[in-house]
Structure 1
């Protein structure tokens, strides 16, 4: 391989709803949807329950893969739930 070769381009992931999203965007969307108390109720973590902030949550989630997986799963659930609600809200 030569020195000027470009790194391989990542494959597009059109069916991955998390692709291209930052952890910060996910945490902010969840906080907007559920609030800190609702987040703590769904995923009981100290960073959501005691003096919560986006910064402290990001710091913890970046170091804790199992907690990040739970947050990402909740985000996907929220998207499915929002989609279901928008489809079910047809005019009568």
Structure 2
């Protein structure tokens, strides 16, 4: 079932993709300090960070909001 979601800018974007783009743009240290998440500060890596974000809704929400604000909005303003 493929339902269009015009009001959901994150539709179709995987958490792993978000995390990779944020890491490439900001790095672990900046993400950890900005979002106040220890999974990005204490020996960070993709696998452990993804596991934490998938099981911790409040942390995932922080990352998604940061992604929307800083990555998606940059793309929109460049168009």
Aligning the two structures, in what range does the TM-score lie when normalised by the shorter sequence? 0.7 to 0.9
Q: Which runs of 4+ in 1 moved over 3 A?
A: 81-84
Q: Which runs of 5+ in 1 are unaligned?
A: 1-8, 88-92
Secondary structure, in 3 states, of the residue corresponding to 1:20? coil
Q: Which residue of 2 aligns with 1:35?
A: 27
Q: Which residue of 2 aligns with 1:80?
A: 73
TM-score (norm 2): 0.87
Q: Which residue of 2 aligns with 1:5?
A: none
Task: Give the number of equivalent residue pairs.
Answer: 78
Structure that is richer in helix per residue? 2
TM-score (norm 1): 0.76
RMSD: 1.5
* CA deviation string 1:22-53 (max 9, x = no partner): 11001001111111111011111121001011
